[in-house]
Amino acid sequence: MKNKVVLITGGTSGIGRATALAFGRAGARVAITGRDEARLQDTARELAGLGVEHLAIRADVGVEADSERAVQETVAAFGRLDILINNAGISMRALFRDAELDVIRRLMQTNFFGTVYTTKFALPHITQAKGSIVGISSIAGYRGLPGRTGYSASKFAMHGFLEALRTELLPQGVHVLLACPGFTASNIRNVALAADGSAQGESPRNEQQMMSSEEVADHLVQAVQQRRRDLVLTGQGKLTVFLNKWLPGLADKLVLNHFRKEEPDFTL
């Protein structure tokens, strides 16, 4: 990673911030984007404290012009772009029957189109470097999760997009990684959208029993270095993917039972 340039969307908290610090420690020059200026500067100060050459860009990946500007500013500052990590994302916590349709639109705009926009503008630079494009996806990209219909749809869309792109880019030697952390201790659930589009607030899950964002970030750095195709983390995540592929009927029942236990206030 020495002197490689990495652009990380959604680098203001959780996995994004931890990944920025992990790539910085590995020797990379790091550009981060985010919508929250205060949190963006918090991450920038942490990178500065590590002596990492960095750039903080206030941008919303769901806005095409912001995505284009983020790539342009990164290349202008560092002269190249080797690695793009599409990390920016939002989640939801609502049954589809109750959710406003705008919640689904917002999830698709950030999680899917944010990936499409940033990848589109970064692609010429990544191709020139024979670098890496990474999608921070979810187990919900392998297995639709109740109460997360829009989130699951956005991650399935990301999977299809990046899988097709990976195949297109084989002759150019570009590496494409789909990373699925599983349940991770981060703030994505705190800012998940409720049925009316408001932030849900306190997470209903026990964050202490989950993999930390820092652990995820270390796995990501290794996966990029090894140019891995897929990365599925946590035992629960790996088991869910396995069962959904080979025993889908059983997976339906197990996922439903888990949902009822974790979300007792939702009545199906």
Amino acid code (one letter) for 194: A
- State the CB neighbour count (10 A cutoff) for residue 124: 12
Amino acid code (one letter) for 112: F
CB distance 14 to 186 below 8 Å: yes
| Contacts of 149 by beta carbon, 8 Å cutoff, 6+ apart | 92, 96, 99, 104
Q: Counting beta carbons within 10 angstroms of the beta carbon of residue 49, is it exposed (0 to 12), middle (13 to 18) or buried (19 or more)? A: exposed
Three-class SS of residue 164? helix
Tokens for 63? 């806005």
Catalytic-residue membership of 142: no
Q: Could you identify the residue written with the tokens 């349940």? A: 183
Distance CA 7, CA 126 (A): 11
Amino acid code (one letter) for 32: I
Spot the catalytic one: 151, 158, 174, 178: 151
Q: Could you identify the residue written with the tokens 């630079």? A: 125
Q: Which residues are catalytic?
A: 151
